[in-house]
Amino acid sequence: MNKNIFTLVFVVLAIGLVVQRLENPQVRKPSANPLVIDFNDVQDFSNLRPGHIKRATKFAIESADAILDKILAISNTDRTFDNTMVKMDDIYVAIESVWSPGYLMGSTHTNKDIRDEGLASSKTIQKYMTDLALDEDLYNAVIAYSKSKEAQQLAGYKKKFIDDTLLDYKRSGFSLPKVKRDKVKKIFNELADLGLAFNKNISEYQDTLFVSAIEIEGLPENYQKERLQTNGSYAIDMSYPSYVPFMDYAISGDVRKKLKFKFNNRAVDSNLDVLNNIIRKRRELVDVLGYKSYAEYRTEDRMAKNPQNVWDFENDLKDKLRAKGEMDIAEMLKIKSSRTGTNADVIHVWEAGFYENLVLKENFNLDPEEVRQYFEFNNVTEGLFTVYQQLFNVKFKKVENPSVWHEDVLMYEVFDRSTKEMIGRFYLDMFPRANKYGHAAAFSVTMGKMTADGYQLPATALVCNFPKPTEFQPSLLTHDNVETYFHEFGHLVHGVLTQAPLMSYAGTSVARDFVEAPSQMLENWVWQKESLSLFAKHYKTGDVISDALLNRMIAAKNVNSGTKALQQVYYGVLDFTLHDGYDPDGDVSTTEIVAQLQNEITFYPYQDGTHMEAAFGHLNGYGAAYYGYKWSEVYAQDMFSIFEEKGIMNAEQGMRYRKIILEKGGMEEPLMLVKEFLGRDSNSDAFMRSMGLE
């Protein structure tokens, strides 16, 4: 995602940076504020108290305004890239110094006042950024510089930065009369408020299904013990470590149906209206800006370039996946028919995980619960560290007694093995708790930036919700959990290993439909014997996972690859449908769209009375961009083909990947980076092989 003035929005990958503070007497630096720190220091999260984020936000905005004043004070004839464009990037740095850690606290802190303050800060900053994006004086300064002789001769990332900035000015309505620009500003602010409300309603939603001893049959003993209530019932909440195993293992289809109904109705009472308002405001925005749809607006500055390319991509993928999906469903129906003594002809949404597991067990002698025994969290972490450290020539050093926001959070420093220099930091917040962000994501805390004092050390927080260790057993991850861990850690290293000179291009600040590719590429290491043997050890005996079990896992890799991929196509098409012509005030509701597309694209019929869109957070954060998951996977698998050929632990190729893909961030167009790494044009051959389609 290109992080210039107009695209500084919070998404699943939150971003931020600590900035060297201005020595400006007019900007009063708060004393003893955990978020207002010196250059390359760390935030004192453990001492964060209500009021700190609010005061730090005020300081960040004042600091940004002081930089803006300096830019505007320069004569147009004296403008240079350094005193205008770099300083514009410095404004974003000042803002991000509080925006990102504040938003992280709003998503993870245990204190409600601090969470609310973090989200309120984000709202304040988003409104400030909207004002800045529509600041006519700054626009005139950039235009004046763009016409200078120096600007006309720019090359590389500098030329890209001025070009991207000018494009985004156009996308913010600067070709329009002032009255329309004011309307654009108002809509951006309203969208910021709606987006924060949508996310908050999801994260704060609580619901529990209480089941009997008979109804919980099929679940592992430790799972049952952890949820046993004093009255003899069992509490199944909506967190993933609770919900997913129940859907996969519970014998009772009726109870799975009840839980699926609850899960797909999270935040329904509040968010259906919020979602409709988001869609309305996005339609209103693009109408003012002169775009045919929000999808057209969103794709303009991405790899896809226009909606038609996305529709072609999704429809082509849907057609190619159909045959594999039919094979997947046929295998599940065969088992269902045998179990029920009927000629089963449908797999319901609440049966998908259950019968997929039975396919693994009966066709491949693969029990996911047996596999979990080999993926104890600490062992997986150690193995993941080994893989990433070897590939990218870095060393992770644990920080003892770090200042963190919860006792579960760990902190590490990252060193380059060759130079021995520290190049970044990261945090791990890996287990669920009440009111914490409920999915898995990498949140930037600090973003890279070249300054007069050296390179600003980036920091990223990995926030996950893996099963927490209990008195009954340690944290045991499913293989899907392990894949998620490797994926999200890929985002983390993308942020931490950056060497981009501008914050606007640091780390994951790449085209949005490419942002997943570097992480998706790194998922492949959880399917390779050489890497799995490093950490897949039985949590009781310490025995390394056997070749026989590994072979069964790898053989079963593409079980339901068709149905799973079609599910992703469905999500992408749903997102795009709602943003490419859909009218929330028309005759069709978002839920009717959900039902229609689910029945048309997936093999699992829509469950009457559910409204999954109310808790589908990506409709807010991604908005006409969810297609990027599959889009970027094509490039991810193509890049992995190099490691397949040269060796998956090949340090030379790992360093090429670090230098070309990870360090450069958004400095060059993604297609050019991929081509440089591959040494050829990209194609979809490896992607199709990865799906078991060739």
Active site residues: 488
Residues 427/492, Cβ–Cβ less than 8 Å: no
User: Sign of the CA dihedral 515, 521, 526, 530?
Assistant: negative
Contact 224, 211 (CB under 8 A): no
**Cα 87 to Cα 60, 77, 596, distances in angstroms:** 15, 17, 49
**One-letter identity of residue 328:** D
CA distances from 288 to 137, 180, 420, 523, 629 (A): 22, 7, 53, 41, 29
Cα(210)–Cα(212) distance, integer angstroms: 7
Q: Are 508 and 491 within 8 A, CB to CB?
A: yes
> Rounded to an integer, what distance in angstroms lies between the CA atom of residue 278 and that of residue 205?
19
Query: Which has the closest alpha carbon to 460: 498, 493, 503, 502?
Result: 493
Query: How far apart (Å, rounded) are the C-alpha atoms in residues 308 and 67?
Result: 41
Q: Are 280 and 584 spatial neighbours (Cβ–Cβ below 8 Å)?
A: yes
CA dihedral 512, 515, 521, 522 (to 10 degrees): -150
Alpha helices in 74-177 (DSSP H): 87-108, 112-133, 136-146, 149-152, 156-171
- Provide the 10 A C-beta neighbour count for residue 546: 12
Distance of alpha carbon 612 from alpha carbon 69, whole angstroms: 47
DSSP 613: G
- What DSSP element (H or E) covers 415? strand 410-416
Among residues 572, 627, 512, 626, the alpha carbon closest in space to that of 8 is found at 512
Give SS3 for 395.
Answer: strand
List the alpha helices (DSSP H) in 290-306: 294-299
Residue matched to tokens 């996911």: 368
3-state secondary structure of 451: strand
Residue with tokens 């770099």: 86
> Among 529, 439, 528, which residue's Cα sits nearest to residue 488?
439
Q: Name residue 454's beta-bridge partners.
A: 451
Residues found in the chain: 694
Residue 409, token pair as written in the block: 């959070």
In degrees and rounded to multiples of 5, residue 375 shows phi and psi of -125, 60
**Burial class (CB within 10 angstroms; exposed 0-12, middle 13-18, buried 19+) of 677:** buried
Structure tokens at 69: 């004043």
CA distance 640 to 521: 6
499, two tokens: 């060497």
d(CA 63, CA 142): 20
Tell me the β-bridge partners of 442. 462
Both tokens of 386, joined, read 């080994």
**Helix ranges, 533-650 (H):** 547-555, 561-579, 590-601, 618-621, 628-646
